Amino acid sequence: YDPFNDIYHEGIPSNDTLLYGSDIREAHGHDIHIRCTLIMRSLHSIVQLDRRIMQLTFVILLFSEGLSNLINCQEPCLNNYRQVFHAQNTYVEQLWIFLEQHYGLTQTIRIFTTLISKCLLIQALFRDIQQDINEKIDICQVPPIMRTLMHLS
């Protein structure tokens, strides 16, 4: 994310398709754009400290049950819940240790609090975006295959 130009990209900006903040505002409205921008700016400040913080956070999120609900996707039942919980907990502990060694206890608490609060805000934002999409789409105009993929039927 480029906070100065309000541009979203993945990887190297010159090799990517860029998504501008104005695109988000046009598609979903001012409120969702502002919420998205505030979340991204906060996470961007953590990335500026060290990219590895967000990389570990993403690994932790990959182990999160129910994450697929954010994108309206079916998730298989979890048979090995304890193993997944143990793996996730291991990464959470490693992130805490990494932060504490590099930034001290006070900053570690601030970073962890920010990560947790932003994850909760992202969940709410995704839910609202999904609701916005469902309200704007005329299901009759969507081809059947797309209805299935988007879980619109």
Q: Could you report the per-residue pLDDT of 62-86, keeping only the tens digit for each?
A: 877 766 555 555 556 667 888 888 9
In a domain, 111, yes or no: yes
Nearest-angstrom CA–CA distance, 88 and 49? 23
Query: pLDDT digits over 23-34, tens only?
Result: 989 988 999 999
Whole-number pLDDT of residue 76: 63
In a domain, 1, yes or no: no
At 33, phi and psi to the nearest 5?
-60, -45
In a domain, 39, yes or no: yes
What is the bridge-based pairing of β-strands 7-8 and 19-20?
antiparallel
In a domain, 135, yes or no: yes
Whole-number pLDDT of residue 109: 97
Q: How many CB atoms lie within 10 A of CB 85?
A: 13
In a domain, 2, yes or no: no
Please check the confidence at residue 13 and state whether its pLDDT lies above 70: no
Please check the confidence at residue 42 and state whether its pLDDT lies above 90: yes
In a domain, 129, yes or no: yes
Q: List the single range of 2-6, 16-20, 29-33, 49-53 with lowest mean pLDDT.
A: 16-20
**Average per-residue pLDDT for the chain:** 85
Whole-number pLDDT of residue 68: 56
> What mean pLDDT do residues 80-102 have?
92
In a domain, 20, yes or no: yes
Number of domains in the chain: 1
Nearest-angstrom CA–CA distance, 130 and 117? 20
Whole-number pLDDT of residue 38: 95
| Whether the Cβ atoms of residue 72 and residue 59 lie closer than 8 Å to each other | no
Query: What domain range includes position 42?
Result: 7-150
